[in-house]
Chains A and B, each alone.
Chain A
Amino acid sequence: MAALLEVEKLAVWLTGARGRPAILQDVSFNVQPGEVLGVVGESGSGKSVLALSLMGLLPGTLSMSAGSVRLLGHELANQPREAWRTYRGRDIAMIFQEPMTSLNPVMRVGAQIAEVLRWRRGMSHAAAHRRAIELLEQVEISAAASRAGTYPHELSGGMRQRVMIAIALAASPKLLIADEPTTALDVTVQAQILRLLTDLQRTSGLSLILITHDLGVIAELAERVMVMYAGRIAEVAAVRTIFDDPVHPYTQALLASVPDMRHQRPRLATIPGTVPNLFAMPTGCRFAPRCPYRRDVCERQAPAIVALAERHDVGCLRPFGYPEPVSVTP
């Protein structure tokens, strides 16, 4: 099956800063139709910048380049910003962490959904309004007809996130990017939203890129997981491989540092040090300064992302026996 989204050698850097520090570097991955890809990483991993670059929504201070960004077979890399507009909202939609900042505060929520339908689907006022109410029902908002007439501030956080999801689904996208969709919500409301996303994804068959720092959310929803560290991919594998047989030292350390509800340990595992500063990135592997398995060769060159097994890629020299770099790529 052809991939829905194929990204090759995506890089994003800060323009106008000395040395053009790279926020994302050498990011290649794909998303299959109907697949849930989890993207996990801590602050500074570049996961949110990745989402914005896929949406063509990078702020002017950031520049991107890519070997290829193919959505549904259409090449979007190195196209003007307008090229993304055709696809954004129609084939690819996004929901954010804080729905209050993405919703229009002075527009009724029903009208905000209808706006997408009229713009993207060419519906009439009346038809768009009817469909907006259906979408609100689909995201399990009770009394949808009357809720369509409310303003965002009248709704709870969980309800607002449901409205955001309804807006994102309005144009029937093939790919939904959810950036920390439940991070601002209470755990009970988070459980509701995760269940809703699972149901919607299964019934509509859309692909989902789920960006989160929370490994629990990954365990709930993701089929495949991409672990990111300091702007580079550390490891990509099926969700069970990531949880049971992680290979990258960062993935291992990340999993170990989560407190375990079942098995209590006297002390939590930690990763010494902090994420490197954007302006002082290590030249070799970006995790090397914190890595317990670091060798000299790790500090010479950033490790390429290499297939360790089928559908298991890793950006680390250790599982390959610390090979010396054969050629120096520019």
Chain B
Amino acid sequence: MTTVADVLIETRGLHKHFAGRKLGFGFGGAAAVRAVDGVDLTIRKGETLGLVGESGCGKSTLGRAILRLIEPTAGVVLHRGIELTRLNRAAMRAERRELQIIFQDPFGSLNPRKTVGATIAEAYAIHRLGGRAERARWVGEMLDLVALPRDAALRYPHEFSGGQRQRIGIARALALRPGFVVCDEAVSALDVSVQSQIVNLLQDLQHELGLTYLFISHNLAVVRHISNRVAVMYLGRIVELADVGDLFDRPAHPYTRALLSAIPIRHPDERREQPILRGDPPTPIGEAIGCRFAGRCPFAEPRCHRNDPQPTALADGRSVACHLAADGTLPPMTVAP
């Protein structure tokens, strides 16, 4: 069982709504896009929590709202019991030493006019840490940590390959020795052979430095490899949260099943599991009544369209937001003929 001491990050009723976009020429409604729509989540110290879902499900927004890189519309974020959502600018800045993020595009997120050394050292300048010599030494240590040569400090981002740039992004994120790191599609832009180098590096750093990760990715194979627990997000809600093996081997929510069944097979002799989901993920505009997945769910019943399912703990400890999964009436999975 989780004790209070184990919890590093907690969100309660977290919401992030974006003002409705007008369609132009004064037409179109202004209903809010509910990117994050009531998320209760706990992240335990030292774990990797995978966060998966299709584009537009709100997973990146959730990651950023936890760090207050974007301001939540409503709800609470706690870090080691401190309510981040109530801190003023100065207090939040101090707290942010502990909270960092690694982005997807290692080129777009590095300043092309700054040397790698200056990019990493920027964090020390912002937090007024160390003198010139000390900062240079720390930069060298960070480069060692991510297995880049020390002379990289004097070079510019364009001189590096995609994998090396992601190492720079990691060094920058870890410069202040944070405890919690959001990895937002951190390996998604990389080739598979380089991707595995970075995944291994992230795991090594986690063990070495005792890091806690929120690992956001649409790459389910990587999520399975790196995560201890996995949360599945659909239209701003967490629909299932379980230990990694339980989630991938015995998905409980119909959406999780559909998502996993869509993963390309691993070998030409493999068969796909049913069903292939029809249609595209809708946009979370306006307030929804009932289950957000009901419209695409092959098992939807009248109650699913009427009542919003709340996260329910099952016997194996997982949490599922589905009426049928909760009362055990969901039909078992089938394999395609």
A: residues with CB less than 8 A from B are: 42-43, 156-159, 186-192, 194-195, 213-217, 219-220, 222, 239-240, 243, 253-254, 257-262, 264-265, 267-271, 274-275
Contacts and interface: CB of A to CB of B under 8 A. Distances in A.
Given A159-B280, A253-B193, A187 B262 contact: yes
B258 interface: yes
B265 A254 contact: no
Contact of A219 (B195, B266, B276, B280): B266
A264 B269 CA distance: 20
Contact of A270 (B196, B248, B268): B196
B221 interface: yes
| B192, B224, B265 interface centre (most CB from chain A within 10 Å) | B192
Contact of B276 (A192, A214, A215, A260): A192
B163 interface: yes
A217 B224 CA distance: 19
A270 to B, nearest CB: 5
B263 A187 contact: yes
Contact of B196 (A158, A264, A269): A269
20 contacts: A42-B193, A42-B194, A158-B280, A188-B259, A189-B54, A191-B264, A191-B272, A195-B276, A215-B192, A219-B265, A219-B266, A219-B270, A220-B268, A258-B266, A260-B221, A261-B220, A261-B221, A264-B224, A269-B196, A274-B163
Given A188-B277, A220-B264, A268-B200, 13 more contacts: A157-B280, A186-B281, A191-B276, A215-B192, A219-B266, A219-B267, A254-B193, A257-B192, A257-B195, A261-B266, A270-B197, A274-B194, A275-B191
A265 B225 CA distance: 8
Contact of B265 (A158, A216, A253): A216
Interface string B174-205: 00000000000000000111111101100100
A317 B239 CA distance: 52
A257 B162 contact: no
Among all A-B residue pairs, the 3 with the closest Cβ atoms: A216-B264, A268-B196, A42-B191
B111 interface: no
Contacts of A270: 193, 196-197, 200
Nearest to B191: A42
B218 to A, nearest CB: 7
Interface residues of B, number: 41
B222 interface: yes
B310 interface: no
B73 interface: no
Contacts of B89: none
B307 interface: no
A240 B195 CA distance: 25
Contacts of B266: 216, 219, 258, 260-262
Interface of B: 54-55, 161-164, 191-197, 199-200, 203, 218, 220-222, 224-225, 248, 258-259, 261-270, 272, 276-278, 280-281
Nearest to B56: A186
Q: Quick one: which of A192, A217, A254 has the most chain B CB within 10 A? A: A192
A268 to B, nearest CB: 4
Contacts of B272: 191
B248 A261 contact: yes
Given A159-B280, A216-B265, A259-B225, A187 B218 contact: yes
B54 A187 contact: yes
B192 A42 contact: yes
Contacts of B262: 187-188, 190-191
Nearest to B280: A156
Contacts of A274: 161, 163-164, 194
Contacts of B196: 257-259, 268-271
A192 B278 contact: yes
Contacts of A188: 54, 258-259, 262, 276-277, 281
Contacts of B192: 42, 213, 215, 254, 257-258
Nearest to B220: A187
A188 B218 CA distance: 11
B161 A186 contact: no
Contacts of A194: 264
B283 to A, nearest CB: 10
Interface hub of A42, A186, A253 (most chain B Cβ within 10 A): A186
A312 B195 CA distance: 29
A250 to B, nearest CB: 9
Given A42-B191, A43-B191, A274-B163, A259 B264 contact: no
Contacts of A157: 280
Contacts of B220: 187, 261
Which one of A254, A262, A268 has the highest number of Cβ atoms from chain B below 10 Å of its Cβ?
A268
A192 B269 CA distance: 19
A274 B263 CA distance: 27
Given A42-B193, A188-B276, A240-B269, A259 B162 contact: no
B217 to A, nearest CB: 11
Nearest to A277: B161
Nearest to B277: A188
Given A192-B278, A274-B163, A264 B267 contact: no
A26 B206 CA distance: 44
Contacts of B263: 187, 216, 261
B149 to A, nearest CB: 13
Contacts of B265: 216, 219-220
Nearest to A155: B280
Nearest to A257: B196
A159 B279 CA distance: 9
Contacts of B270: 219
A222 B268 CA distance: 8
A179 B278 CA distance: 23
Nearest to B55: A186
